[in-house]
Structure 1
Amino acid sequence: MKELILANTRPGGTALLGDIIRLYLAAEDLPLWQAGEKELEKLGIAPPFWAFAWAGGQALAQYILDNPDLVKGKRVLDFACGSGLQGIAALKAGAAEVLAADIDPHAIAATDLNAALNQVRLITTSENLIGRSNPGWDLVLAGDVCYDGPMADEIMTWLHKLAASGTQVLLGDPGRTYLPRQGLQRLISYSVQTTSALEDTDVRNAVVWELIPSEQKYGKDQEEKSFS
């Protein structure tokens, strides 16, 4: 699995973070970039979300590096980790422990490779954590998870339950279709250069949101602030 990733990616920096964090990423001159569903099936892999540094994840990673007190000494969950970018950023910023979770085993393999590339150590799991109670995470990071309607609803319901239990939850999102319209507090936005081969634009305005605990979620004041 790792051999396949190494053969189809190239180590490089990201548009927003530069070379502060390097990842094994697909490149336009490599087969993985051009592969369609049939080619991916032949390779035995699902769509390789782990091979790209998505704008929401880059925004979260940059915010963590700019605000290391958010993670210093804390236990962090990098949910739907993809490449592991957010988890790696958390460790570089001083997190005590990071669990990187993704149901795609190729994402877990890529995350392990990327962690080694950046000389950090994290824990990985391919278990589906949605619906689980918090075993001790201080902070949950979720980047670019609102691109599919039913899945986004399920994930956000769970994340709001975690927030209601006292867990800080940060969401990185570049304006995906199924981003909720309430229950979020805007923290910061970043302009992230991307490519029209992946997105519908060459630049994405990626926002870092904090989930509002459920007891505040429907309060008039908080609702009015949601997209301020």
Structure 2
Amino acid sequence: MTPPHELQAALNRLLGDARLAATPLPGTELQLWLIDAANMDRAFSPEETRRILEEPPYWCFCWASGLILARWLAEHPHWVHGKRVLDFGAGSGVAAIAAAKAGALEVVACDLDPLALQACRANAELNGVELSYSADFFTEADRFDLIIVADVLYDRANLPLLDQFLSRGRQALVADSRVRDFRHRLYSRLAVLEACTWPDLAEPAEFCQVSLYHAQRA
């Protein structure tokens, strides 16, 4: 299977010998175009490290929180079945694709990064689902039943988004493994589940503990 040309070219600009591979996700029926795990076995040069830090290729990993959210929707399809869903900060599109597989009426994959939206398109095709796409959450109308979110709270500056999610959706479902003092008057924790980023980045064990939070518009 040949990787999508534009995504492969973008990855090669960062890591010259890196390859994308259609990768099955553990504990799911999904697969994504992800960086080949074999590329993670070597040390990166200083120049490669600089490029990765300046332009992180979030879209070629399935982060732990996204994997947990995808598994959750597959196991609890009533969250999305027959509903209009927006995946905020979609990245690879894993949660959006899981929502579509679980019977959502409509799924919008939303991400500021054009490469992420290309990855979402390629991964949707790989999994045989149709998504819609958006580059700007704040241009979307208040018409969604559920906003799904994974791995966007790594920067505490993003915490105010927790309120904004409910400006476009009646409910929000947020997966996070980074914020240890998560407190918000509208959000309650549903579960704490375990997964690792794929391919495995050997992250600290604490980042493999993913909390799921739910909020409903007052």
TM range (shorter): 0.7 to 0.9
Matched residue, 1:46:
55
One-letter amino acid matched to 1:144: D
Q: Which runs of 4+ in 1 moved over 6 A?
A: 40-43
Deviations 1:38-66 (Å, cap 9, x if unpaired)?
438879x8211111111111111111111
Q: CA deviation at 1:154?
A: 3.5
What is the aligned-residue RMSD (CA, Å)?
Answer: 2.9
Q: Distance in 2 between matches of 1:155 and 1:29?
A: 36
Q: 1:157 aligns with which of 160, 163, 173?
A: 163
Matched, 1:135 2:137: no
Q: Distance in 2 between matches of 1:10 and 1:101?
A: 23
Asked whether the 8 Å contact 1:9–1:30 carries over to 2, the reply is no
Pairing of 1:1-228 with structure 2 (within 5 A)? 1-4=6-9, 8-15=19-26, 17-18=27-28, 20-30=29-39, 38-39=47-48, 46-125=55-134, 127-130=135-138, 132=139, 134-150=141-157, 152-162=158-168, 167-174=170-177, 176-177=178-179, 180-183=182-185, 184-194=187-197, 197=201, 199-201=203-205, 204-213=208-217, 215=218
Q: Distance in 2 between matches of 1:156 and 1:36?
A: 37
Q: Distance in 2 between matches of 1:74 and 1:34?
A: 45
Q: Distance in 2 between matches of 1:87 and 1:95?
A: 9
How many percent of aligned residue pairs carry the same amino acid?
Answer: 31
Asked whether the 8 Å contact 2:148–2:172 carries over to 1, the reply is yes
Structure 1 unaligned residues grouped into runs of 5+ = 216-228
Query: How many pairs were matched up?
Result: 204
Distance 1:63 1:42, change over 3 A: closer
Q: CA deviation at 1:28?
A: 3.4
Structure 2 unaligned residues grouped into runs of 5+ = 1-5, 12-17
Q: What TM-score do you get using the length of structure 2 for normalisation?
A: 0.80
Q: What TM-score do you get using the length of structure 1 for normalisation?
A: 0.77
Q: CA deviation at 1:209?
A: 0.9
Asked whether the 8 Å contact 2:195–2:209 carries over to 1, the reply is yes
One-letter amino acid matched to 2:9: L
Secondary structure, counterpart of 1:187 in structure 2: strand
Deviations 1:142-184 (Å, cap 9, x if unpaired)?
001100121x133223124446xxx11000112x137631232
Q: Distance in 2 between matches of 1:191 and 1:25?
A: 20
Matched residue, 1:223:
none
